Structure 1
């Protein structure tokens, strides 16, 4: 049974610093990481090396997979691409369901992709903020209730951090999601249960959130 979940937001994305990136982009709604973003991901990988993470799940967006990749290398683990953890499909940002890397190209570019994993939840376009929060929270609950891994890592977006917290804890008020920031949620046993409790009366809480200590060197 999972008793700890770590959530890592992706690093700096190219379209946030390259003014003309969209003019030559292959997929205009799927920017990858900048060089700084890759350094941030590398620092996060070092931070996570000794945390006991047993499974990695990532949003299908390129920036999330690129952030998860060095972590997977450091931990010698596959990456399970899970659409349910993906970005908020906000119609103010997207005019249709955003295109991401296809499965074959993803496996070719990122050999640690787990080809056996089958998505637990597929998002639908469009979503409002509450829809996205519910979808991500439901995905998080399905994962922790179905895996035998005691510590899992989710790699995604700001919306992923808030959605996971809302789905497990019942509120996202205690979370922060800076670029490549880490959040940890832990399961407490022996409680009375409740609306957001999990099996055996267990309850989740936010242990800490938005930690960027691994980026203190300016990455």
Structure 2
């Protein structure tokens, strides 16, 4: 089916993660051999995700994609709950790889769906943990991978799209869509409009107007 323009592209950074506030989580992670860099949301993060849900309550979202980490999948699942949507776990939206060189072992969709029932088990990602490219150091090292991911997602999926990612991958989304790498706060919303194939209009970035507590959103 041909894609109709204009359409909205929303980009949300995951809400606050438990290890942002609980230093014991890292020690627990090491002691129990948990997946590296895969903290769940904090209590405040879950509240932020619910406030994101209210933000999008009346929005027409046709597809939702999220990096396959607990914090991104949980944020995305909360946002689309009740909308009749599934969350497509997309490895191309994960954090810069120098920050997560050992991606979670449960990126397999079936295992993700056991923890998060809204994960779409029929979705085949553009990048899995087995096909991620080698990347250098620096947050902007993921720009090429994110560029490839967005190109494929935008070509293959019609309607308004919601993407949930991380600080670096969302910075890379901004680089691809408006030519400027831009950091955003946790649980904030950025919006673009695709007016024609490969033509994007930047509407706003890092909007936190829906959050009841705007302190320390870690915009870096």
The TM-score with structure 1 as length reference comes to 0.84
- C-alpha distance after superposition, 1:60-97 (max 9, x if no partner): 1111011111112142210000000111011xx44x42
Alignment counterpart, residue 103 of structure 2, candidates 98, 122, 133 = 98
CA contact (8 A) 1:137 1:165 kept: no
In the other structure, the counterpart of 2:133 is 124
RMSD (CA atoms) = 2.0
Matches within 5 A, 1:1-219: 1=3, 3-25=7-29, 26-90=34-98, 93-94=99-100, 96-103=101-108, 104-121=110-127, 122-128=131-137, 129-149=139-159, 151-172=160-181, 175-189=182-196, 198=198, 203-217=199-213
Query: 5+ unaligned residues in a row in structure 1: which ranges?
Result: 190-196
Instruction: State the secondary structure of the residue aligned to 2:81.
Output: helix
The TM-score with structure 2 as length reference comes to 0.84
* Distance change >3 Å, CA 45–CA 53, structure 1 → 2: same
The alpha carbon displacement at 1:28 in A equals 3.2
Moved over 6 A (4+): none
Query: 5+ unaligned residues in a row in structure 2: which ranges?
Result: 216-220
Distance in 1 separating the partners of 2:61 and 2:150: 15
Distance in 2 separating the partners of 1:102 and 1:81: 8
Distance in 1 separating the partners of 2:49 and 2:21: 17
CA contact (8 A) 1:62 1:100 kept: no
